[in-house]
């Protein structure tokens, strides 16, 4: 049985900050400017060689969709881990 996707944030107020983080990470790591999320997906798809088109992509292979989402998500997770490690280091160094 397929698992139901939950596209809702645990803290809805964090959406603007997450969008800023995504824009920063994408512009730094993938050489894309401050684009909308859909534009970022299209640019990443082009860079990884996935035939993504605007609108319906029902014929897109799961593995190709994973290349796009994995690229974006992986970079964001890596950045969030780095930020958390820096925050922990700052907390430990404070008296």
20-55 pLDDT, tens digit per residue, is: 887 788 777 766 666 676 777 888 888 889 988 888
Helices (H), 11-61: 15-29, 37-48
What are the sequence ranges of the domains in the chain?
36-49+63-83
**pTM beyond 0.75, yes or no:** no
Q: Encoding tokens for residue 75?
A: 């970079």
Please report the pLDDT score of residue 4 as a whole number. 59
How far apart are alpha carbons 23 and 36 in whole angstroms?
Answer: 8
19 falls in which pLDDT band (50, 70, 90)? confident
40 Cβ contact list (under 8 Å, min separation 6)? 22, 23, 26, 32, 72
Indicate the DSSP class of residue 5: P
- 34 with 43: CB under 8 angstroms? no
Please report the pLDDT score of residue 33 as a whole number. 65
């Amino acid at each position: 049985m397929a698992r139901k996707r939950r596209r809702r944030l645990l803290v809805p107020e964090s959406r603007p900050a997450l969008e800023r983080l995504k824009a920063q990470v994408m512009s730094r790591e993938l050489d894309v400017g401050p684009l909308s999320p859909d534009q970022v997906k299209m640019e990443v798809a082009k860079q990884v060689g996935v035939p993504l088109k605007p609108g319906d992509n029902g014929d897109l292979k799961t593995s190709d969709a994973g290349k796009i989402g994995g690229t974006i998500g992986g970079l964001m997770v890596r950045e969030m881990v780095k930020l958390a490690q820096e925050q922990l280091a700052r907390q430990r160094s404070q008296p």
